[in-house]
Structure 1
Amino acid sequence: MSVRERFDSDIQAVQEQLALLCTMSIAALQRSFQALVEQNLDEALEVIEDDSDINHLEEEINDRVILLIAKQQPVATDLRRLMVITKAASDMERVGDYAVNIAKETIRIGQEPIIFPMVNFEAMCQKAVEMLQGIMRAFMEENTALAKEIADLDDYVDDLYGATVELLIRAGAEHPNKTKQISHLSFICRYLERSADHATNIAEHLFYLVKGRHYELNS
């Protein structure tokens, strides 16, 4: 195997690690939200415990990229690719963190009946998951057209977030004895919105990789 073939093989391996990290983080987000809906505190605890696996995988990706840069001294597209992989890994690790945060808020709510409809929350979570799954497909295929389509979906999540926050404020005024629960739900709403933002971040990283310049896709 030539030096170039070995380098390409190493890049492919680290991209496969990134794909695994994405799968784990998206699954954590889905699990944490399902734990909220079902008020399954045991499942919420498992999401928190499993986050160390996501953190360790991100660290492995970063270490591997640093080693490749040190050994191969890549330039141009190869260097951009490695740097973008670390940025995407960081974004997906943050999604895992938001899953943990949702799980923690779920535990704080406990078994107290949730007074606020989950319809908007479910829509936000579904769209965030759709965006994250789609952007990783676009990333692996280096498909900037698909990446732009996914980034554009963030407006929908932002609008739904704003509308839901207004409804939560109104619910808090109508149920002053439930302000703690409303506060927990408000945080969860924010974590879902931020998860979708990270899909846009990865779309911007992909544009930088392919085009060699920075783009703001949802300013």
Structure 2
Amino acid sequence: MPSREQFHTELDELNEDIVTLAKHTEKGLRNAVDALFKQDIELARKVIQDDKLIDKQEAAINDKTILLIAKQQPVATDLRRLIIALRVVTDIERMGDNAKNIAKAAIRLGNHNVLSVPPELQTMRDMTLSMLETSMEAFRGEDILIAQKLSEMDDRVDKLYKHIVSELLTKTATNPDQIQYVMQIAFSARYIERFADHITNIGESILFLVKGEIVDLND
């Protein structure tokens, strides 16, 4: 197989590894929020344990990318693809950390909490997972039109985040004894919002890959 064809085969495999890693973070966020709603401590612990696997996979992808750079010595767009792969996988790993932090919040609240979690938090989670799916579609196809959709999607997540925090502050004012509950839910909403921000970073990386321009999708 010619060297260049081999390079693109390995690059395709690398990209699939990245998409698979994104699927693991999707599962992590989904399970972490479910653990919060269901007061499922075991599920929360599983999210934390699974995050260690995400960290190992990130390291493996980074090693594979660096080896590919050293072995093939790519230039121009091909080199940019590999640099972007390193950036994207870093954002995905940090998304996993945010899911892990939500799981930790579920553990802190325990399984005897009589207060219900705001349903908007689940809506926010689902909106963010839709963003992740969109980002991976854009990543696979190097599609800037799809990547640009992430900006508007992130705005909706941000708006819902502000609404949730506002409602929680109102609850604190009328029920100061619920401060621990309010803090952990507010933190969890913030972690989802940060998860979404990392997805917009992926969109920005795709735009830079294709256009060679730095675009702020969080603006």
> When the two structures are superposed, what TM-score results if normalisation uses the length of structure 2?
0.97
Residues 133-191 of structure 1, C-alpha deviation per residue, up to 9 Å, x if partnerless?
Answer: 11111110111111111222111111111111111111111111110111111100100
One-letter code of the match for 2:194?
R
Q: Counterpart in 1 of 2:154?
A: 154
Q: Counterpart in 1 of 2:204?
A: 204
**Alpha-carbon distance in 1 for matches of 2:168, 2:116:** 8
Aligned to 1:153, what secondary structure does the other structure show? helix
Deviation at 1:198, TM superposition (A): 1.2
Flag structure 2 segments of 5+ consecutive residues without an equivalent: none
**Alpha-carbon distance in 2 for matches of 1:117, 1:101:** 16
User: Alignment length, in residue pairs?
Assistant: 219
Measured on the aligned residues, the alpha-carbon RMSD in Å equals 1.1
Query: Residue 151 of structure 1 contacts residue 199 of structure 1 at CA under 8 Å; is this kept in 2?
Result: no
Give the percent of matched residue pairs that are identical in Structure 1 and Structure 2: 39
Residues 10-61 of structure 1, C-alpha deviation per residue, up to 9 Å, x if partnerless?
Answer: 1111111101100101111101111111110000001101111100111011
One-letter code of the match for 2:172?
G
**Alpha-carbon distance in 1 for matches of 2:174, 2:134:** 39
**Alpha-carbon distance in 2 for matches of 1:57, 1:117:** 32
1:45 aligns with 2:52: no
**Alpha-carbon distance in 2 for matches of 1:112, 1:176:** 19
Flag structure 1 segments of 5+ consecutive residues without an equivalent: none
One-letter code of the match for 1:213?
E
Deviation at 1:115, TM superposition (A): 2.7
> When the two structures are superposed, what TM-score results if normalisation uses the length of structure 1?
0.97
Query: Residue 37 of structure 2 contacts residue 116 of structure 2 at CA under 8 Å; is this kept in 1?
Result: no
**Alpha-carbon distance in 2 for matches of 1:170, 1:191:** 20
**Alpha-carbon distance in 1 for matches of 2:121, 2:59:** 31
Please list every run of at least 4 consecutive aligned residues from structure 1 whose deviation after the TM superposition is greater than 4 angstroms: none
Query: Residue 44 of structure 2 contacts residue 107 of structure 2 at CA under 8 Å; is this kept in 1?
Result: yes
Deviation at 1:114, TM superposition (A): 5.0
Deviation at 1:107, TM superposition (A): 0.3
Query: Residue 58 of structure 2 contacts residue 90 of structure 2 at CA under 8 Å; is this kept in 1?
Result: yes
Q: Counterpart in 1 of 2:188?
A: 188
Aligned to 1:217, what secondary structure does the other structure show? coil
